[in-house]
Amino acid sequence: MQEQNPPRKAEKLLAVKGMNDILPPDSALWETFEDRVRQLMRRYAFENIRTPIVEPTALFIRGLGEVTDIVEKEMYSFDDRLNGEALTLRPENTAGVVRAAVEHSLLYNSPKRLYYMGPMFRHERPQRGRYRQFHQVGAEALGFSGGEVDAELILMASALWRELGLGNVELQLNSLGQPEERNLHRAALIAYFEKNMDVLDAEAKRRLHLNPLRLLDSKNPAMQEVIEAAPKLMDFLGEASKAHLATVTAVLDANGLAYVMNPRLVRGMDYYNLTVFEFVTTELGSQGTICAGGRYDYLMEQIGGKHTPAVGWAMGVERVLELLKAGGSAIEPAPLDVYAITADAAALPEVMACIETLRRHGVTVQMHASTSEGMSSLKSQFKRADATSARFALVFGPDELANGSVTVKALRDASIPQRLHSLGELSVLAESLQSHA
């Protein structure tokens, strides 16, 4: 009979460019961050919403606007061959949340404060702080028209910076006014840029008559001077728009939250009106915006609902975490209580019954498991224990098991003496393992 060949080693497959695996220990930072976000949202009475990652392509074209970076060049769009639907991996989630709110009449009896977290997809050039799959936390307040809710959202984001220990985050603020005001400004912008045609790049020329506001968002250094001197939307605002902005700034002032008015802040999507804002840091190079948002009073009707005022923001999780790490900021994951060491694999059933009881009492336990060679030596098990965050090693040796006890050894605090603990009193043991005294 022919000997069987071992399976040939296959070629290594890698993740899609610009899409990252989030691995331990980094993933612990993500989880801690997500916990903080959930606590924050609860304090501000925002409820969680989870919408699909894939939406009909038309939602984004209609919602974000045809002449935007996202829709023109960044979307992962595809045809579902099985039923010929045009679909897109969500590049952002405001449109999806609004779609869901309309579809399920979520606002039928009251406005809603909602939040989400999850992956978004944009086909951009990968670089620091810019990925093709990235994550956002987003907050959307649907059905609110007053500027105080714009301000509440801003206060909520800055509360998070405070709690995470992030300094050096600047709040930039602007008003995009209402559509009629924007039309006046638009005409002035077109006239102005037409006089400066020689400075415009090809994209700016193409967009000039389609969506001149987008020119203000250009990152082309050669155009910055002309953009700087362009007509400012602020000068076209009517009384009501100015009053809305004044409400926002009054709340910020009353809370001692500093901001910088940035008349060039226009944001990348067409759905915004009135308040827009960004939280910007200088510490992440050119990818300095960690959170951005504004009011979008016309989006709901744009996608088939009835007119409903709304405001929200989205935060780039990768950028916030990178900022945290750069600042050496201390959001430490909780340490393990126990690393369980067992001398002999034959004792594992009994040991695991003890460990399960401890876990039932809330103790966090990492168990040393056997390999194809059986249990490793006590010495190497201790070495493993030391490499974890565990505060105690529980040693289940033959002597301990024979007399119904376990040795408790502190791994980080030499002042705690080693002691023997009876297995008959596991709830007492559980309590002492969790007490941080």
Residues within the interface to ligand ATP (CB under 6 A): 92, 122, 124, 129-131, 134, 136, 268, 287, 289-292, 314, 316, 318-319
**CB 120, min distance to ligand ATP, A:** 7
**CB 172, min distance to ligand ATP, A:** 11
Nearer to ligand ATP, 292 or 351 (CB): 292
Nearer to ligand ATP, 73 or 104 (CB): 73
**CB 397, min distance to ligand ATP, A:** 51
**CB 63, min distance to ligand ATP, A:** 12
Q: Which amino acid makes up residue 226? A: V
CB closest to ligand ATP, residue no: 316
Nearer to ligand ATP, 297 or 400 (CB): 297
Nearer to ligand ATP, 248 or 315 (CB): 315
- Find, among 72, 49, 43, the residue nearest to 60 by Cα: 72
DSSP 183-233: HHHHHHHHHHHHTTGGG--HHHHHHHTT-GGGGGG---GGGHHHHHTSPPG
Cα–Cα distance for residue pair 313/391, rounded to 1 Å: 40
**CB 280, min distance to ligand ATP, A:** 9
CB 139 within 8 A of CB 153: yes
Cα–Cα distance for residue pair 141/145, rounded to 1 Å: 9
- Find, among 3, 15, 27, 18, the residue nearest to 333 by Cα: 27
Q: Apex CA 421: angle with CA 419 and CA 423, to 5°? A: 160
Nearer to ligand ATP, 279 or 396 (CB): 279
Q: Exposure of 293 by Cβ count < 10 A (0-12 exposed, 13-18 middle, 19+ buried)?
A: buried
Cα–Cα distance for residue pair 346/348, rounded to 1 Å: 6
Nearer to ligand ATP, 297 or 318 (CB): 318
**CB 429, min distance to ligand ATP, A:** 46
